[in-house]
Amino acid sequence: MPHPLTEFLNPEQAAAVELPAEHALILAGAGSGKTRVLTTRIAWLISTGQVSPAGILGVTFTNKAAKEMLARLTAMLPLNPRGLWIGTFHGLCNRMLRLHHRDAGLPATFAILDSADQLAAIKRVMKALNIDDERYPPKATQHFINGQKENGTRAAGVQVWDDYSRTLAGIYAEYEAQCQREGVVDFAELLLACYELLERNAALREHYRSRFRHILVDEFQDTNRLQYAWLKLLAGESNAMFAVGDDDQSIYAFRGANVGNMYDFQRDFAVKHVIRLEQNYRSHGHILDAANAVIANNRERLGKQLWTNDVAGEPIRVFEAMSDFGEAEFIVEEISQLQRDGLDLNEVAILYRSNAQSRVLEHALVQANVPYRVYGGLRFYERQEIKHALAYLRLIANPDDDNALLRIINFPTRGIGNRTIETIQETARVTGTSLWLAACSSGAGRSGAAVGRFVQMIDGLRRQVEGLPLPELVSAVLDQSGLQEHYRNDKEGEERLANLDELVNAAASFVTDDENDLIAFLANASLEGGEHAAGAGQMAVQLMTIHAAKGLEFHSVFLTGIEEGLFPHENSAAEPKGLEEERRLMYVAITRARRRLYLSLAQSRMLHGQSRYAIASRFLDEIPQELLHYLNRGYAPQTYSAPTAAPKQKTPDHGLAIGMTVKHPKFGIGVVIDHEGGATGNVQVNFRDVGPKWLAVGYAKLEPVSS
């Protein structure tokens, strides 16, 4: 007779819950009920008398997940949650360090620095050391320090290759000393200090090994090297580690996650029990078949195949638009129809690979009066870098805009401190003028010279951009203001640069009857930035990156930008490990949908204010065609015909002349009807089966066909 806790589980789930007290790896596919298995395992161990609640260590990655585990567990058993050690890596390390602060060399009241506090502390160190923050951007330095800590490396152990790395190591060393003096720790320090405490204190290590006989870890594929090392210290010969994860959903390498920990765990602990949870309770069959087909192309995986007892469901809808604007308009029209059909907007998600893609989508939603919410992030016009850029534009358009001046007078940093700004504000108040006029009359001295250079830069920009077309104006301001250079030097600035590029795209596509394009553009940005932010509790379409979507599910999902170079991203596609992570990202995206999935792409997309032509992502080719229903091909079907009298033209650098017959691996036979650019340019081909398409030569794989 089955145990009451496992009688409603499927055979694989029950087998995982009832495993003996030995190391085990549970490969839990998307939507397979992993949280249920993990919490039921804990309840089963306690209820069968194998361990007391105090003998459980449950580790997860987010406070939300930890609270959910505790809620489910206390619903199964009459437990006091305060006595349970279930929490995040950082939360559990904090708890351990508080109990043993003397052994860890910390004050009992040590404070924890959040990311902003840590950055401020690093800036203080750099100022004290007189470090050039242009050559060593504080955020990049913060990223360096945290990366070293997550690899278990103290400042004294940093490998030094040259003056640059020597300076970084010096900042790290002084930052460590400052934190020690002030009795504070950052998030990375919590884990590193706890690891070092257990490593050097054998008695304490054995105490926790004997206490926590069962260690259960959620989302094991997201662990980094230091987290895995910490777990290894706690897992002695008599402990049992129950690791739950999905190597196919490992998508956080950029945060330090090491999918290889799953393979190492099997080897290091001689794991005998590997159970695959493959039955999916979320999605229709066609969606799972598509996810399985895509992920099967990855070579380095532990392997599993999702399946469901549910129906196959609808085919996956594919829409190919002429442009990113056409893609956005189609999505909004479909969402409006879904809403008319009775679907709550909360059950609709739009996913994108890059945050910059949201701008066109947001614009289309605003125009159609569809409320939306950006999940896990900011709407386009609320993003820091966009607000900075708009402030420069506003000050150029209107020098008396005090808010704009205050935002950018010292961003990027140019040696204008708070005291100088307060002096300018006081001068403006006394004279009854704007901050700009007060800045123009700023006095001598070092601070006055810095203000003078700022004034000269803005004046120079105003003269330089006068009469320029709007996109060129915006591009020039981004370049000359130093914003682009600032984010280019930031190790985490790639996405912010992409958003600044998207602002240029917004300017290029902006149409107005107003005589002053810039004023009208700024007004439109304010209107779009202030509208359609869904209020608390209001039904709204969910916009998010695919990374932010992990762990969520929706009735209908629109997966956008399925184009080579965008998804998979061009920065990752050339490297095997990078491509495999992009494919895992596609797998995650597909499995967010329960009932309906749309894949959309655009033949042309704005980039740097210019149209970029693309071809369909290889991921679309990896989905069996019988699972796909093409809603269109981006245009009305056209009859294939070669030009009857193509004019003689010089053959371009890429060798694909107008009138040449070519073959494409996907679109078949066609004739070149137009081209632009040189060896890396674009060609337009009229294909026999699908009509004309613009293709990027670098991606197109076009082969001449002898006539």
pLDDT grade for 372, boundaries at 50, 70 and 90: very high
Q: Is 209 a catalytic residue?
A: no
Share of the chain above pLDDT 90, in %: 57
pLDDT grade for 42, boundaries at 50, 70 and 90: very high
Give the per-residue pLDDT at 446.
Answer: 67
Phi-psi region of 553 (alpha: psi -120 to 50; beta: other; left: phi over 0): beta
Give the per-residue pLDDT at 651.
Answer: 56
Q: Is 676 a catalytic residue?
A: no
Q: 69-125, pLDDT tens digit by residue?
A: 888 998 898 887 777 899 999 999 999 999 999 999 998 888 888 888 899 999 999
Number of Cβ within 10 Å of residue 141's Cβ equals 23
Candidate list 12, 13, 34, 353, residue with the active-site label: 34
Q: Cis bond leading into 399, ω under 30°?
A: no
* Residue 661: strand pairing partners: 671
274: Cβ contacts below 8 Å, ≥ 6 apart: 24, 25, 26, 27, 266, 302
Range(s) of the chain covered by CATH 3.40.50.300? 11-99+192-279, 287-379+533-630
In this model, does residue 648 exceed pLDDT 50? no
Candidate list 6, 88, 227, 249, residue with the active-site label: 249
In this model, does residue 647 exceed pLDDT 70? no
Q: Is 218 a catalytic residue?
A: yes
Closest CA to 592 of 550, 545, 628, 542: 550
Q: 213-240, pLDDT tens digit by residue?
A: 999 999 999 999 999 999 999 998 899 9
Candidate list 219, 324, 385, 490, residue with the active-site label: 219
Cα–Cα separations (whole angstroms), residue 672 to 150, 530, 633, 685 = 53, 46, 18, 4
For the segment(s) 287-379+533-630, the CATH number from 3.30.200.210, 3.40.50.300, 3.40.50.720, 3.90.1170.50 is 3.40.50.300
What type of residue is 336?
Answer: S
In this model, does residue 674 exceed pLDDT 90? no
In this model, does residue 653 exceed pLDDT 70? no
In this model, does residue 695 exceed pLDDT 80? no
Q: 280-324, pLDDT tens digit by residue?
A: 999 999 999 999 999 999 998 998 999 999 999 999 999 999 899
Give the per-residue pLDDT at 533.
Answer: 59
Residue position matching structure tokens 């950052």: 186
In this model, does residue 389 exceed pLDDT 80? yes
For the segment(s) 11-99+192-279, the CATH number from 3.90.245.10, 3.40.50.300, 3.40.50.1370, 1.10.260.40 is 3.40.50.300
Q: State both tokens at 276.
A: 């695959």
Q: Is 542 a catalytic residue?
A: no
Give the per-residue pLDDT at 511.
Answer: 67
Give the per-residue pLDDT at 216.
Answer: 97
Give the per-residue pLDDT at 512.
Answer: 66
Range(s) of the chain covered by CATH 2.40.10? 636-707
Strand order in the sheet with 240-245: 85-88, 56-60, 214-217, 240-245, 24-28, 273-277
Closest CA to 540 of 531, 532, 550, 548: 532
Fold observed for domain 636-707: Thrombin, subunit H (2.40.10)
Number of Cβ within 10 Å of residue 312's Cβ equals 13
Is 3.40.50.450 the CATH number for 111-182?
Answer: no
Lowest mean pLDDT among 142-156, 333-347, 410-424: 410-424
Q: Is 219 a catalytic residue?
A: yes
Find the mean pLDDT for residues 332-356: 95
Range(s) of the chain covered by CATH 1.10.486.10? 381-528
Closest CA to 507 of 481, 479, 469, 477: 469
Domain at 381-528: CATH architecture: Orthogonal Bundle (1.10)
CA–CA–CA angle 505, 510, 514 (5° rounding): 150
Find the mean pLDDT for residues 247-268: 92
Give the C-alpha separation, 399 to 392, whole Å.
10
Candidate list 592, 594, 596, 612, residue with the active-site label: 592
Share of the chain above pLDDT 70, in %: 91
Candidate list 35, 308, 357, 545, residue with the active-site label: 35
Contact between residue 215 and residue 230 where contact means Cβ atoms under 8 Å apart: no
Give the C-alpha separation, 658 to 686, whole Å.
11
